[in-house]
Chain A
Amino acid sequence: MRRNLWIGAVLVGLNAAVAALTLVWLPYGPTEMSGGRLSPPSWAHPAGTDRLGRDYLTQVMIGARIAMTVGIGAALLGGLIGTTLGVLAAFARRGLDDALAATLDILIAFPTLLLAMLVVAASDGASLWTAILAIGLAMSAIIARLVRILTKRVLAQDYITAARCSGLGWGKITIAHILPNILPTVMVAVALQFGLAVIAEASLSYLGLGTPPPNASWGQLLQQAQSTVFRAPMGVIAPGLALISLVLGINFLADGLRDLMDADEEIQP
């Protein structure tokens, strides 16, 4: 029954471990031309080399770090902004709440890629931070909409009215009652968004809107290997598999978390 959780934890854990490892050790330097051009997999280069003779495994490992950084960064940013906005909208007066809800709906309808281009255009150029900012902002709209509804549901409970009547202010009610009650659901939603953020980052860098070289992300690797896919298929297979393993792992983890919480909820009437 907890199989999802385990598979997810192992896949995500593996990616996280590789990402952490790149901080202290890499098989080759990221720009080091260590082998022949487009050489096939060998003991020295398990995933072969690219057209400049750089080691693919090294690049895929660095890609794991970038994917994890953007995923976690965007999830934190989106989770924080989204939760804050959602709670505020739920508390706001009717008119302001409607305005916020409409803004969120527009933001959600706005494609993440377009938003990313706007962020890139507004800043000095594409970087890790523009990717995190763009994806985090897009994510915050989805989280905010969910949090608004969840908060309203908690606010309708009698214990909130009773707490208010006994003289508890909104700030304390939010911290003591609302956040703990919405957190489990928000966590599952953020975990699911984490997976989408990794894909969004790959799409952005595929289009050249992500992290600039030489710290290539998976999307960029895929884009670079595209023209040589038949001569050196590992250039597409390696980052592709890495991307699938992380996104699948995150989704399994989120599913597992949700099952865990549903099981908990069954105990509580």
Chain B
Amino acid sequence: MSLLQVQDLTVSAGARELVHGVSFDLRPGERLGLVGESGSGKSLTAMAIVGLLAPGLTAGGSVLLDGQQMIGRPDRDLVRLRGAVASVVFQDPRSALDPLMRLGDQLAAPIRRRAVREGRALSSAQLRAEQIRWLDRVAIPEPDRILRAWPHEVSGGQRQRIAIAMALACGPRLLIADEPTTALDVSSQAEVLDLLGGLVRDEGLSLLFISHDLPVVARICDRVVVMRQGRAVEEGPTARVFTDPQDPYSQGLVAAARRLQSALENPA
């Protein structure tokens, strides 16, 4: 059974429709990429799935997340469904963390919530052990210093890793990553990407990975949905879409990525 089933999802701002009936599904443990240029509706699609559209935007159609309908439900019901099923990592590491809260406190919040949800008592020693374990899992050294630090005292790559740790610490089964590496420099980009891929595999999570960057998606996803102007124009296994794209737009995207690749490899 699918963990996530999206049927004819629409997102509109007033009378204007921005996403026109997108459908796809995601099995447990599968890693799906949503690819498209900015404005193609990929982020809107992702936010509609967890019921977190910005005010003024409304979603239609059907989204079944772990068997629960997410569209048209009051926010109060959704709060309980989120976290347990899905969590998100965003693009901008500067706004991913609360600037006025120590990193340790921020990381503690999802760990505590998960313990409450699972009905476990959590001693302060256990909490600390969990915090250190999560920092270790996202490959952050010097946990003692980091837990006491403020967000502005660590690098963008480290902030993004902590945001990932926070997203995973609440124990979701689906991780939504919205351009999580776009704002990072190239070397931390590769590190964070490999880390994310590894964690998702180890935890047996499903991943919905949103990006405009084809090589990045090829590196981490099993399957891709190509979006353009609010429509899904192509869907298929990553290898097939990248070697043999059917839709003219996907063909253009792949060709552009190849040209860039060869230009980088064989500078004139």
Contacts and interface: CB of A to CB of B under 8 A. Distances in A.
Contacts of A170: 75
Contact of A181 (B50, B82, B99, B152): B99
A268 B83 contact: no
A166 interface: yes
Interface string A8-35: 0000000000000000000000000000
Interface residues of A, number: 22
B56 A94 contact: yes
Nearest to A169: B79
B99 A268 contact: yes
Nearest to A152: B55
Given A166-B83, A167-B79, 9 more contacts: A158-B91, A161-B52, A163-B109, A165-B88, A166-B82, A167-B80, A168-B83, A169-B79, A267-B152
Contacts, number: 83
B97 A159 contact: yes
Interface in A60-94: 93-94
A168 B113 contact: yes
A9 B209 CA distance: 54
- The SS class assigned to the A binding surface is helix
B101 A180 contact: yes
Interface in B65-89: 75, 79-84, 86-89
A37 interface: no
B167 interface: yes
B94 interface: yes
| Interface range, B side | 35 or more
A165 B110 CA distance: 11
A162 B92 contact: no
B216 interface: no
A109 interface: no
Interface in B167-181: 167, 170, 172, 176
Contacts of B110: 166
Contacts of A180: 98, 100-101
Contacts of B52: 161, 164-165
A176 interface: yes
A167 B84 contact: yes
A157 B97 CA distance: 9
A165 B98 contact: no
Interface string A187-207: 000000000000000000000
6 A-B pairs with least C-beta separation: A167-B83, A158-B90, A166-B83, A166-B170, A268-B152, A157-B95
